[in-house]
Structure 1
């Protein structure tokens, strides 16, 4: 709003209206005119002052509102930042746990792969036959079992014969059927088998089990004639068992 004073007329003008007309000031005389003009000016000043106060108050309120909004925004951003930090920390913990689980699973997977490869290797060694049984090279298959017969001309005592079998991953043969007895005795005139007398006088197989039943002894055997006949051999001619000293030198048969 603009305010102007006219020098000629003695009027105070502002945007198209007169604050105090000259003729009104003269209507009351000189003193009255001066008083009236002063009052008008005072009113104008008060109006301007009031307008200024209103404008300042409005500006102060707007600034305060902006400060409040700004503070609220900062508070929200700070909370959002803190929440993101918490989520980041949780994700880092989860990532670490997942890494450990992955390492365990990788180890288990490697073990499974190794086991699979071993089984595949064994499967590749299997011969195509009715039983699916495969015997190693140099071994003989008979009734779903694999046997190793010592070389011709090579003999050992009972303990060393068993040691040879164990070094091959097997043990001296355990005979449980007549068919198996006939198979073993046809290789050599005399053959060691995996039966011996224990310290308490009982006959035991190399797997630790006791001899069950009458067995396949020759007539009159076992007789322990020499007092140290603690090991058993199979005679081709008799097709039966005989107890003899373990120090004797015979061929042998291993069984897997």
Structure 2
């Protein structure tokens, strides 16, 4: 079970991710956008760290600092494209994904979307929740396979961030600054109000 500090950290990550996912706009790739250090692989943009390893919570915060999210593989096509990209870079790799069952054991949710994990490619006999402490999902690149495994959230793994919606057109200079600020502000305020109403009781605890 998470201690209080981890629970608060997880809640803040969830609120932040819901705001980001709901308020982002779709990609317009005909606009010249600077996506560095992200690289397009298949239909998404990825930042793959080679010298940085973090626990699951730190990894999620790291990706948010780049206005992105932890890796979420949602189809065979995404898996195959990412595997082809990672294979020449690493002999083997263990990296965190956004999926976890921190809220309800055995129910794997995406931190990015707040919805159940829609695509699974578990390794043999996984997930197994060893010692009842494996709540975060990693991907393991080994030999010619890419598989999923549940593991302890406190372990340090590589970090792969993704931008499914890399940069909205507010950053491209195409739209007026005032209009973009209005859209972003209204969206954020609306979602904050909804999230507050949904979670207000959490902060009204009695001993």
* TM-score bracket for the superposition, by shorter chain length: 0.5 to 0.7
Structure 1 residue aligned with 2:24: none
Please list every run of at least 4 consecutive aligned residues from structure 1 whose deviation after the TM superposition is greater than 3 angstroms: 122-127, 182-185
User: Which moves more between the two structures, 242-251 or 137-146?
Assistant: 137-146
Alignment of 1:248 with 2:155, yes or no, is: yes
SS in 2 for 1:190: strand
Alignment of 1:199 with 2:97, yes or no, is: no
Give the strand-richer structure, 1 or 2. Answer: 2
User: 1 CA distance for matches of 2:136 and 2:73?
Assistant: 14
Give the helix-richer structure, 1 or 2. Answer: 1
Which ranges in structure 1 are unaligned for 5 or more consecutive residues? 1-121, 128-133
SS in 2 for 1:239: strand
User: 2 CA distance for matches of 1:184 and 1:159?
Assistant: 23
Alignment of 1:219 with 2:130, yes or no, is: no
CA-CA distance at 1:140 after TM superposition? 0.7
Larger Rg: 1
Which ranges in structure 2 are unaligned for 5 or more consecutive residues? 1-26, 164-207
Structure 2 residue aligned with 1:161: 59
Give 1:1-256 correspondences, 5 Å limit: 126-127=31-32, 134=33, 136-150=35-49, 152-185=50-83, 186=86, 187-188=89-90, 189-201=93-105, 202-206=107-111, 207-212=113-118, 215-237=120-142, 238-256=145-163
User: 2 CA distance for matches of 1:223 and 1:124?
Assistant: 41
CA-CA distance at 1:125 after TM superposition? 8.8
TM-score normalised to structure 1 length: 0.45
User: 1 CA distance for matches of 2:132 and 2:103?
Assistant: 13
User: 1 CA distance for matches of 2:152 and 2:162?
Assistant: 22
Change (3 A) 1:123 1:205: closer
Q: Looking at both structures, which has the greater relative contact order when contacts are Cα pairs under 8 Å and sequence separation is at least 6? A: 2
Change (3 A) 1:125 1:149: farther
Change (3 A) 1:137 1:221: same
